[in-house]
Amino acid sequence: MNSWNDRAYALFEEQQRDRGIDVGEVQRKLTALKIETPSWGYGDSGTRFKVFKKLGVPRNPFEKMEDAAVVHRLTGACPSVAIHIPWDHVDDFGAFRKHAESLGLTIGAVNPNVFQEDDYMLGSVTNADPRIRRKATDHLLACVDVMKETGSKDLSLWFADGTNYPGQAHIRRRKHWLQEALQETYDALLPHMRMLIEYKFYEPGFYHTDLADWGMAFTAANHLGPQAQVLVDTGHHAQGTNVEHIVAYLLDEGKLGGFHFNSRKYGDDDLIVGSINPYELFLIFQQILDASADSDEGVRQTAAGIAYMIDQSHAIEPKIPAMIRSVQNIQTQYAKALLVNLEELADAQGRNDVLGAENAIRKAYEMDVSPLLASMREEQGLPVDPMQAYLDGDYESRIAVRGIGGSSW
């Protein structure tokens, strides 16, 4: 580091040592954090009204991997890429996997799409038409086959299924159809695979959604077995929802499988994670790190197995810089959460010291972790400022030859 960074890090280390924090251990844990980026975040994506096409976006899944490799090269934190089928369908998934591996990447979660075809207007696996239910379930099974070909370990499921009007459909019957499709798909998983079940409390069905909250996803996963867990999308909640409470509960039950990180101001806006309420992101990580230190081995294993995935709609932002910013925001809040003195917190909690416990959390959140992040990146041979490194490079000008009108969803 330069002399300014050296002095800043030395002061930071001394400050944390006085608080009883082992900065070396913090840095090791921060370095170990891996964040999966989504293939669709590199292509053209839109608002509910329009897709604003950008210059240089990928024209196919192979080019999406090339862009993802740039993010990983600059941040050192993103070795896997989630794919969406059929958005990322290729004729040879074996060749696709080899292409990713040649770039230093692996294929992450496979995300089926059962919401964009006309057949699914009134539901997919919960549709009253058995032909459509069969079609949707067959697509889920086909995605399990894609997992086998690409080496993916996670099947990430989100269903738009729901209704707009009272009486439109039989809610309990739809619940059974959903569980039947999940069970058939679950039975097709290999032993090392997981099914991650996502939920969303509204939209596009404004009267009811078949998987509307974490409790419904949790119940569905419990019916299936240990290879099924819940996926928490940070934007899929009603205003004021205590997401970190949900996280703590699912951790304790061994059913927290992963995240889709984004941010929202009103509904599911899919904004850059940490851009609206970074304190919430910090508090989520604090619950996870607390679970990582729990005396219960099952709770610790659940925390260790969480898949951290980004799911954002970069509708107006340049794609690669938006992804780099997302990764940096996650690293910043994770770093702050690592600075919570858990012994100090537990002591205050045990004494019913309300303000003391809250202060143990707040002190960590208010820390400037930029010296820690700079030191971590330098030790890995990474740019201290990944965003500036990208802007100073020539990758953006090189991909301009792709033109406008690349791959989109």
**DSSP secondary structure string, 289-322?**
HHHHT-S-HHHHHHHHT-EEEE----SSS-HHHH
Q: Which residue, chain included where needed, has tokens 């610790």?
A: 300
Rounded to 5 degrees, what are φ and ψ at 25? -70, -40
Give the CA count within 13 Å in the CB-facing half-sphere of 25: 10
Buried b / exposed e across 81-97, counting CB within 10 Å, b at 16+? Answer: bbbbbebbebeebeebb
Q: Which of 115, 196, 208, 223 is nearest to 169 (CA)?
A: 208
- Helices (H) and strands (E) counted in the chain, each on its own, are 16, 10
**Rounded CA separation 338/76 (Å):** 19
Contact between 82 and 111 under an 8 Å Cβ cutoff? The reply is yes
Contact between 248 and 164 under an 8 Å Cβ cutoff? The reply is no
Instruction: Tell me what pLDDT residue 272 has.
Output: 97
Structure tokens at 63: 């080019």
Domain spans in the chain, listed from the N-terminal domain onward: 33-340
Rounded to 5 degrees, what are φ and ψ at 209? -115, 135
Q: Could you read off the pLDDT tens digit of each residue along the chain, which spans 409 residues?
A: 566 678 999 999 999 999 999 999 999 999 999 999 999 999 998 777 889 999 999 999 999 999 999 999 999 999 999 999 999 999 999 999 999 999 999 999 999 999 999 999 999 999 999 999 999 999 999 999 999 999 999 999 999 999 999 999 999 999 999 999 999 999 999 999 999 999 999 999 999 999 999 999 999 999 999 999 999 999 999 999 999 999 999 999 999 999 999 999 998 889 999 999 999 999 999 999 999 999 999 999 999 999 999 999 899 999 999 999 999 999 999 999 999 999 999 999 999 999 999 999 999 999 999 999 999 999 999 999 999 999 999 999 999 999 997 765 5
Instruction: Tell me what pLDDT residue 409 has.
Output: 54
The domain defined by 33-340 carries CATH number 3.40.50.2300: no
Angle between helical axes of 214-224 and 243-252 (0-180°, round to 10): 20
Contact between 188 and 141 under an 8 Å Cβ cutoff? The reply is yes
pTM of this prediction?
Answer: 0.96
